[in-house]
Amino acid sequence: MLFTATTHAGERYGKQKVVYHINYDNPKKQTGALRNIQNHINAVGAENLDLKVVLHGHGLSLLLEPDALAKLKKFKQANANDTMTAKIDNLKSQGIDFNVCANTVRGRKVNVDTDLYNVDKNDIVPSGVAEVARLQQMGYSYVKP
């Protein structure tokens, strides 16, 4: 029955391109956003979804290692704990991209290699806000959970 419901949902929603915008540091809201993304995948099917998460400003706290918080005074939260990173890894394994704003990295003196969880140089975009706008121009639907 679950297979039928999933198949039917995929037919209902078709292929989607979506950008999720995260620029807040509240861990409950961030957990909720990750849950929304998983629910989105479950409804549409990973094979029908091109979903990108764009993080800037306080949103980088989602990927900020707790050990880095003491030296990065412009952050109030470092939410990349074991529970959060397991959710991130699960989403990445389903093809979800997490894009990080270079302006925030530079302005807050974040070391991508040591301060952020599982961020590759290819995940860095010049500007988080400009990336959201660019993706919308490319036909991505905007979601701010």
Average pLDDT, the chain: 95
Predicted local confidence at residue 3, as pLDDT? 53
- Number of separate domains in the chain: 1
| Parallel/antiparallel/unpaired status of strands 16-22 and 97-101 | unpaired
**Considering only CA atoms, which of 110, 31, 24 is closest in space to residue 71?**
110
| CA neighbor of 87 nearest in space, from 34, 137, 50 | 34
**Residue 137 belongs to domain spanning:** 2-143
Q: Tens digits of per-residue pLDDT, 16-51?
A: 999 999 999 999 999 999 999 999 999 999 999 999
8-19 pLDDT, tens per residue?
A: 566 899 999 999
Kindly report, residue by residue over 99-140, the tens digit of the pLDDT.
999 999 999 999 999 999 999 999 999 999 999 999 999 999
Distance CA(141)–CA(49), nearest Å, equals: 11
CATH number at residue 17: 3.40.1260.10
Q: What is the mean pLDDT of residues 57-78?
A: 97
